[in-house]
Amino acid sequence: MMVVLEQYKKQLDLCDTQLVSLLEQRLEIIENIMEYKKKEGISILQSEREKQVRKLVRTQLNKPKFKDEIFDIYRSIIENSKKIQAKTLFQDNIYMIGFMGCGKSTISNYLSKMLALEVIDMDSYLTQKEGMSVNQIFEKYGEQYWRNLETNLIISMKDYQNKVISCGGGVPMREINIEEMKKNGKVILLTADPETILARVKNDNSRPLLRGKKNTKDIKELMDIRRPKYEAAADIVVNTDNRSIHEIAEEIVYQLTHFNDTMTEA
Ligand code: S3P
């Protein structure tokens, strides 16, 4: 009986040896694809790819009884392939900055999904930690208290790598925040016209600084005050007017992957 068990174990060992080797091959192919796409300027993010892989796996299944397990294993393989993609592209953090309603959270979440990067939404993180909404924090403790929370959070992220950080709109107004972000990341500025911003924020009352200012004139005024700081902080600027989430994310990834090339040419 022991002999039979030993034989099964040997078969498993053989399977694992083959699996490890195949997984290494798969991840290496991903690296090669990324390098090739980078070199040729081919679009990097593929929203359809996951579906194609699932389809292939489904058609290749010989034993349907293991379908759920195989799909589960593939979910993990795809997640890890995405992580390899992200690592091949850049090691830095991505700090998303810009005016309220410019799409920082939406784009950060999309990038996080496409490249399996962890996302930190500063507003959500801080409001959860404080157990209060931004409005409540501003009312109870004042704006400076909020700004200090933001600075402390930025400083506490100094050892982070390969994360997407969606900053609150006021973060770049403090010099120290920008200095900290530059130490371990690239700063992406998302821009939009006041009209676009108004359309995106008009039904949302979560922002104390926009209370009673939901019109293009006031939005433009505040934008004009902030623009110089935003632009000075930005490594990369991406406009979001009339563009899809995918297009915006794709441009960010393109610019990030070619950031060092541009620096060398300059
Ligand atoms: C602010 C922007 C908000 C939030 C707070 C202050 C700002 O974040 O941090 O209401 O000063 O621009 P979003 O830009 O994510 O809306």
Give the separation between CA 163 and CA 95, rounded to whole angstroms: 8
For residues 35 and 88, the answer to whether their CB atoms sit within 8 Å is: yes
Cα 241 to ligand 1 centroid, rounded to whole Å? 19
**pLDDT for the residue numbered 262:** 62
* Predicted local confidence at residue 194, as pLDDT: 97
- pTM (two decimals): 0.90
Distance CA 195, CA 224 (A): 14
CA of 124 to the centre of ligand 1 (A): 11
Q: Is the dihedral of CA 123, 167, 154, 250 positive or negative?
A: positive
Residue 168 CA to ligand 1 centre (angstroms): 4
| Distance (Å) from CA 169 to ligand 1 centroid | 4
Residue 164's DSSP bridge partners are 94, 119
Q: Which residues line ligand 1 (CB under 6 A)?
A: 100, 104, 123, 134, 168-170, 207-209
What pLDDT score was predicted for residue 244?
96
**Closest approach atom of ligand 1 to CA 167:** 15
Per-residue pLDDT of the chain (266 residues; tens, 9 = 90+): 689 999 999 999 999 999 999 999 999 999 999 999 988 988 888 878 888 999 999 999 999 999 999 999 999 999 999 999 888 888 889 999 999 999 999 999 999 999 999 999 999 999 999 999 999 999 999 999 999 999 999 999 999 999 999 999 999 999 999 999 999 999 999 999 999 999 999 999 999 999 999 999 999 999 999 999 999 999 999 999 999 999 999 999 999 988 866 655 55
- Ligand 1 site-directed mutation target among 100, 102, 197, most atoms within 8 Å of CB: 100
